[in-house]
Amino acid sequence: MSQVCVVGTGYVGLTTAVGLAHLGHTVIGADINDEKIATLQAGGVPFVEEGMADLLAEGLRRKRLSFTTDVATAVSKAEFVLLCLPTPQGADGNADLSAVRAAVKSMARHLAADSVVITKSTVPVGSAFEITTLIDRGDVMVVSNPEFLREGTAIHDFMHPDRIVIGAQDQAAAARAVSLYLKLAAPIVVTDPVSAEIIKYVANSFLATKISYANAVARLCEETSADVRDVLLGVGYDTRIGHEFLKPGPGWGGSCFPKDTQALLSLARQYGFEFEPLVGAVAVNDQQKARVVDKIMKLTDKKNPVVGIWGLTFKARTDDIRDSPSIAIAEALIERGAKVVGYDPTVENEIGQITVSSDPYAALDGADVLAVLTEWEEFRWLDAEKAAEAMRGRGVVDARNILSRSNWEHAGFEYVGIGT
């Protein structure tokens, strides 16, 4: 087993740290955020993720996992240094590498001889070469190892990956990076760093395109009176297509898809062409959020309606509201004169002008329309009759198609789904 330092203890970093510790490696999570490190040392998890608390506790108990703010000392003791730092979207559409650059410059002289620096952050194409230049040491190797974690199922995804991608110029460095994951049963793709970096962007952009395709199909189904659920069920049984991500909704968002699609579009433009399929996917996504807003407003004749929203996170089983379609839709409703009250199992604080309730029915008090925007399973089982008692109006827009149309119509609601 190996000595590993994970630099950055955000979503990707913490998942990677607890996962590698579970596999038997000795892992130090390093971060400059004192408060976050103190929380982690005490066994606290700063975000919602199923299974994270258990693996964190296991790693601390078995002394395979520790945390520190002393990054220089941590990297000096490590055979592998994994960079898991934030790379937000920059003004040019590419990922902003400033946090990665700053960390690499500060740690370069402290790295152990013959160590391997592994980039797991989603970085612009060519970053492995830039990091190699910044380190400027012949005794340190750099490898690209993109992550494919889904929020809400990140622990499962780490332990049961579809594939492990290693990008390296040096085959010895690639072999050493592979050794970290030998306990995992997954195909291993060994390639060059540029190809590894592009794989990440292409994968996320394809999944985003698949969702946009499903939303375009949903619109066609609405026009032709077909049922999108049956259409996509029939299509998804084709093994060349599959059911995953072939579901209509309010549009895609989160911390990855928006910035990764823009990064791939930006990369294509640098080489003089438009990535047309992705241009269309982004356009459909923007249109879909606007379509949901229109569906909600059409269910009331009030000039300043009250809209109750169930679901504020960008997806279920997380507390992440970054680039959430729910928030974008709520803000668009507010711009059109609506008052918005939201409920979400993991959101407690108000978001801008969005009032947040701690109870799903209280969020509907006096509401003209209910909009279901995140696919929390618990929403499926909430009582339509009780919702009707709280509301002033009788409109429901089910943007996730998770409610029982018959139950809600029986309770007197006008039900509007996506593609149904």
* Nearest Cα to Cα of residue 158 among 21, 261, 43, 1: 21
- 3-class DSSP assignment, residue 379: helix
Tokens of 127: 């970053």
Taking a C-beta distance cutoff of 8 angstroms, is the pair 267, 93 a contact? Answer: no
Check if the beta carbon of residue 128 is closer than 8 Å to that of residue 142.
yes
**Three-state SS at 36:** helix
Q: What are phi and psi of 341, to 5 degrees?
A: -120, 125
Cβ atoms of 129 and 104 within 8 Å: the answer is: no
DSSP string, 263-314: HHHHHHHHTT---HHHHHHHHHHHHHHHHHHHHHHTT---SS-EEEEE--SS
Nearest-angstrom CA–CA distance, 118 and 104: 11
Cα 113 to Cα 159: distance, rounded to the nearest angstrom:
30
From 5, 84, 221, 256, active-site residue: 256
Burial class (CB in 10 A: 0-12, 13-18, 19+), 410: exposed
Rounded (10°) CA dihedral 362, 363, 367, 368: -130
Beta strands at 306-310 and 369-372: parallel, antiparallel or unpaired: parallel
CB of 85 closer than 8 Å to CB of 103 = yes
Give 410-416's long-range contacts (Cβ < 8 A, gap of 24+).
Answer: 410/384, 411/384, 411/385, 411/387, 412/388, 413/384, 413/388, 414/299, 416/295, 416/299
The answer to whether 221 is a known catalytic residue is no
Q: Which two tokens stand for residue 198?
A: 């592009």
> How far apart (Å, rounded) are the C-alpha atoms in residues 251 and 384?
25
Question: How would you class 253 by CB atoms within 10 Å of its CB: exposed for 0-12, middle for 13-18, buried for 19 or more?
Answer: buried
Q: For residue 226, give every residue at least 6 positions away whose Cβ sits within 8 Å of its Cβ, in sequence order, or none.
A: 220, 419
Q: What Cα–Cα distance (Å) separates residue 45 from each residue in 41, 147, 216?
A: 10, 20, 38
CB 366 within 8 A of CB 305: no
Q: Which residues are catalytic?
A: 256
